[in-house]
Chains A and B, each alone.
Chain A
Amino acid sequence: MSAEATIDQETQNAIDIDRAKGDFHFPENHKYDAGVGLSTDTINYISDVKNDPDWVRAYRLKAYETFLSKPMPTNWATEDLNNIHFDEIRYYLADGQKPMRNWEDVPAEVLETFERLGVPEQERAFLAGVEAQYDSETAYSSVKEELEKDGVIFVNSTEGLKEHEEIFRPWFGKVIPTGDNKFSALNSAVFSGGSFIYIPKGLKVKHPLQAYFRINSENFGQFERTLIIADEGAEVMYMEGCTAPKFESTTLHSAVVELVAMKGAKIQYVTVQNWSSNVFNLVTKRGLAHEDAEVRWIDCNIGSRLTMKYPGVVMKGERARGEVISIALANDGQHQDTGAKMIHAANNTTSNVVSKSISVGEGRATYRGQVLIPKHLKGCKNNTECDALMINSNSKTDTYPAITVRGNQHVTQHEASVSQVSQEMLFYMQQRGISEAAAMSLAVNGFINDLVSEFPMEYSVELKRLIELEMEGSVG
């Protein structure tokens, strides 16, 4: 009845069944290729191709130096990071086209890729705007006309920094400075693609905006850069999805996402990632919440070889709120190292972290949390809950919460639990005629049920389906 300690090839293939949808790629057809490895030449090549303004080129080159000077954070993070060979990665692959506004104008194979992933269909059904990135650059970008008229900007980062410099530049790299960590520095040096969004004062965008990040090429690094600014009183929900085919060699995805919620604004950022098991996913995400503003990260991490991601919120204005809701599923051969960072920087700020992780087989789930409330503040609140579900005895889960509260005028709560899908629970469910795999996925869905309802409807259905498929492959 129990899952095997080591998983054979057949089972491994079955685990990857859910990624079959994304497991295809087309022959490469890139006009621009920065080649293999990283040097100042690579960066100049990218800047040349993209026709960067001088300030951006200088920013990149400086970031490259920062990247070189920073050691791998293996003093606290996994040694597996040493298996990333920066000199074997290709940093820029693009066909030199500007993003298209109509799907008809998108190159045939790129269009087919996104059609197979269901992106145009979702756009018609429930989205206010879509950006679709294929390797380094955005292939398609469109926002509903009425939003454009209202002054909403939804473009890729290249267009953002060139055509909206007056809004883009003051915030770019301000929420996450280049030197925040080694991978934010790398992204700052070689970034391309990603979204730039500006929502004007008081505008509440009803439908979500979505970006889809697709890796098509082997040995490739995707480094999108996203900046979302919601002006005073504005509201927006942004969703991102990601897939890559399963290559023999490793692929690197290292994004930087900065959110700025001005006074009274609200930004919700939803991620459902389903990377194939060869992807190193090392992402830095942080939001800045001004007075009465709210930033929520709703994050689901399935797949990848190693994910390191700790979405954060800096609560800079009074009564600002920050929230991280996260689900991580670590299957055999995967390590989900996720968590949250809550920095209270004003009085009466509130943060909430709810994290649920599931480890299956040899899968490993790590929670790292940081909550900082300095001494001079008063009336701050934090609630942290992290629950882990283990599917068999080989699973590993660890929790590193760091809650630093100075002063005594604050309220913090921390709860953690570790539970198992017990043999008795499985026997009970199977005795009702439910197969072992279906029983596992029922148990897992039950465990995350209250969090799934935080995802938009269309995503929660997808999420449940992904988990079902994931569990189907994980029982021997």
Chain B
Amino acid sequence: MSLVIKDLHANVEDTPILKGVNLEIPKGEVHAIMGPNGSGKSTLSKVIAGHDDYEITSGSVSLDGQDILDLDVDERSRAGIFLAFQYPAEVPGVSNANFIRAALQARLPKGEEIDAVAYYKDLYSKMDVLEMNRKFTARAVNEGFSGGEKKRNEILQMMMLDPQYCILDETDSGLDIDALKIVAKGVNAMRSPDRGILMITHYQRLLDYIEPDYVHVMADGQIVKTGGKELALELEESGYDFLKDGGLVNA
């Protein structure tokens, strides 16, 4: 049972961004992708989620054996893929509580309604983990949120939707250390043998709080190096310069 990406190539407006990505994230594992800016890390997350700015020219993405590239964005989500956005969109006028409820409702068979009492109980208990104020439920989705509030909101949605595979795109960016700890607490609470997690990050800092099983290095649209968590520390020390020296080591 895993999320498998095979030889994935994707273009944006005829410019190749992903140039043959191979990656497998089995359930129960936490993987991190690191890499310099422009290496294609964020593109990979959007392509998996199904953003239509990207044209997939070859390769496959499958979820527990099912090819998902033909599915719409919302179908992929309901199949079990969750993307925590680096820059979450604002949805003016729609309250957080209603938004999350609509997302949960979309997962129910037609004619079935969410039990409102149970829903709020669940929502509040998860907000407590993330140390979020109750007033937050009535605020419009991401409207006027600080950077930290937006990221916490992403993790809250992730906890509520209980996905099989989570992709966190630069979740640590724009967070102070206290907010980072809270976000990490939420993500760690999500670690489970039934869930695979992929974290995309530019900095090693996040990995101090959410310890990965594997670290991959992405450069120029490919995974160029794979190792254990110590790889992240090496990168922290020596940077990505080794990429320039032709020292590419494919795992």
Q: Interface digits, B182-213 against A, CB 8 Å rule (1 contact, 0 not)?
A: 00000000000000000000000000000000
> In the docked arrangement, what's the CA distance between A448 and B100, Å?
19
Task: Flag if A438 contacts B93 (CB, 8 Å).
Answer: no
Q: Is there contact, CB below 8 Å, between A432 and B103?
A: yes
Closest residue of B by beta carbon distance from A432: B103
Q: Which residues of A contact B50 (CB under 8 A)?
A: 431
Chain B hits for A424, CB < 8 A: 89
Instruction: Give the distance in Å from the alpha carbon of A109 to the alpha carbon of B94 in the complex.
Output: 42
Supposing A428-B88, A433-B106, A434-B106 touch, asked if A443 and B94 sit within 8 A by C-beta, the answer is yes
Contact of B52 among A1, A439, A442, A449 (CB under 8 A): A1
Contact A446 B89 (CB under 8 A): no
Quick check: A443 and B73 within 8 Å, CB to CB? no
CA distance A444 to B49 in the complex (A): 24
Cβ-based interface call for A429 (8 A): yes
Min CB gap B76→A, angstroms: 8
Q: Are B74 and A434 in contact (CB under 8 A)?
A: yes
Complex interface bits, A122-155 against B, C-beta within 8 A gives 1, otherwise 0: 0000000000000000000000000000000000
One of A419, A425, A430, A446 near B74 (C-beta < 8 A)? A430
Which residues of chain A come closer than 8 Å to B77, judged between CB atoms?
430-433
Residue pair A427, B99 in contact (C-beta under 8 Å): no
B74 engages A436 (CB within 8 Å) = yes
CA distance A422 to B87 in the complex (A): 14
Q: Would you call A431 and B49 a contact (CB within 8 A)?
A: yes
Contacts A427-B51, A442-B99: A435 and B93 contacting too (C-beta < 8 A)? no
Q: Residue A447 contacts which of B73, B85, B93, B100 (CB distance < 8 angstroms)?
A: B93
CB distance from B188 to the nearest CB of A (A): 22
B243 within 8 A of A: no
B72 contacts the other chain (Cβ, under 8 Å)? yes
Interface size class of A (residues with CB under 8 A): 20 to 34
Count the A-B residue pairs with Cβ separation under 8 angstroms: how many?
79
CA separation between A427 and B51, bound complex, in Å? Answer: 7
Interface centre among A425, A428, A450 (most CB of B within 10 A): A428
Query: What chain A residues lie within 8 Å of B51 (beta carbons)?
Result: 427
* Given A1-B52, A438-B106, A442-B102: A430 in contact with B73 (beta carbons within 8 A): yes
CB contacts (< 8 Å) of B99 on chain A: these are 429, 432, 442
Confirm or deny: B239 has a beta carbon within 8 angstroms of a beta carbon on chain A.
Answer: no
Within 8 A of A (CB), among B64-96: 72-74, 76-78, 82-83, 85, 88-94
B134 interfacial by beta-carbon distance below 8 Å: no
Q: A445 with B88: in contact, given A431-B77, A432-B157, A438-B106 (CB under 8 Å)?
A: no
Within 8 A of A (CB), among B30-85: 49-52, 72-74, 76-78, 82-83, 85
- Asked whether B224 is an interface residue with its Cβ less than 8 Å from the other chain, the reply is no
Which residues of chain A have C-beta atoms less than 8 A from B161's C-beta?
432-433
Complexed CA–CA distance, A438 and B110 (Å): 13
Name the residue in B76, B98, B103, B140 with the highest tally of chain A Cβ atoms < 10 Å from its Cβ.
B103
**Alpha-carbon separation in the docked complex, A438 to B49 (Å):** 18
Give, as a whole number of angstroms, the nearest-CB distance from A327 to chain B: 13
Name the residue on A nearest B93 (C-beta). A446
User: Is there an interface contact between A434 and B103, defined as CB atoms closer than 8 Å?
Assistant: yes
Decide: A434 and B93 in contact? CB cutoff 8 A.
Answer: no
Q: How far is the CA of A442 from the CA of B105 in the complex (A)?
A: 13
Asked whether, in the complex, the Cβ of A443 is within 8 Å of the Cβ of B107, the reply is: no
What string of 1s and 0s marks CB contacts (under 8 Å) between A303-315 and chain B?
0000000000000
C-alpha gap A447/B73 in the complex (Å)? 23
B89 touching A427 by the CB < 8 A rule? yes
**Interface residues on chain B, size class:** 20 to 34
Interface string of B132-143 (1 = CB under 8 A from A): 000000001000
A121 to B208, CA, bound (A): 63
Residues in A with CB closer than 8 Å to B85 are: 428, 431
CB closest residue in chain B, given A439 = B74
Known contacts A442-B102, A445-B94, A450-B93, A433 near B88 by CB under 8 Å: no
Min CB–CB distance B240 → chain A (angstroms): 29
- Chain B residue nearest to A444 (CB atoms) is B93
Contact B92 A446 (CB under 8 A): yes
B90 touches A425 (CB 8 A): yes
What is the distance, in angstroms, from A288's C-beta to the closest C-beta of chain B?
34
CA distance A422 to B103 in the complex (A): 19
A447 close to B103 (CB less than 8 A): no
Most buried by A among B85, B91, B92, B99: B91
Name the residue in B88, B92, B94, B98 with the highest tally of chain A Cβ atoms < 10 Å from its Cβ: B94
For window 246-266 of A, CB contacts with B under 8 Å fall at none
The answer to whether B90 touches A435 (Cβ under 8 A) is no
Complex Cα distance, B99 from A428, in Å, reads 11
B106 & A435 in contact (Cβ 8 Å cutoff) = yes
| A403-442 contacts to B (CB < 8 Å) | 419, 422, 424-425, 427-436, 438-439, 442
B74 CB contacts on chain A under 8 angstroms: 430-436, 439
Q: How far is the CA of A424 from the CA of B83 in the complex (A)?
A: 13
Q: In the complex the two chains form, is B91's CB within 8 Å of A442's CB?
A: yes
Name the residue on A nearest B52 (C-beta): A1
In whole Å, how far is A328's beta carbon from the nearest beta carbon of chain B? 17
Question: Which A residues lie within 8 Å of B90 (CB)?
Answer: 425
A431 pairs with B93, CB closer than 8 A? no
In the complex, which residue of chain A has the Cβ closest to the Cβ of B158? A432
Are B91 and A443 within 8 A (Cβ)?
A: yes
Q: How far is the CB of A474 from chain B (nearest CB, A)?
A: 17
Closest to B51 in A: A427
A432 to B82, CA, bound (A): 7
Chain A contacts for B102, CB-based, 8 A: 432, 434, 438, 442
Cα(A448)–Cα(B83), bound, Å: 28
> In the complex, A425 Cα to B88 Cα: how many Å?
9
- Most chain B CB within 10 A, of A430, A433, A436, A448, is at A433
New A-B pairs, 8, CB < 8 Å, besides A447-B93, A449-B94:
A427-B89, A430-B77, A431-B83, A432-B161, A433-B103, A436-B72, A445-B94, A450-B93
Q: What are 15 A-B interface contacts by the 8 Å CB criterion?
A: A425-B89, A428-B85, A428-B89, A431-B49, A431-B77, A432-B102, A433-B103, A433-B106, A433-B107, A434-B106, A439-B74, A442-B94, A442-B102, A448-B93, A450-B93
Query: Across chains A and B, which 7 residue pairs bring their CB atoms closest together, nearest first?
Result: A446-B93, A428-B89, A446-B94, A433-B77, A432-B103, A430-B73, A449-B93
Interface of B toward A, CB cutoff 8 Å: 49-52, 72-74, 76-78, 82-83, 85, 88-94, 98-100, 102-103, 106-107, 140, 157, 161
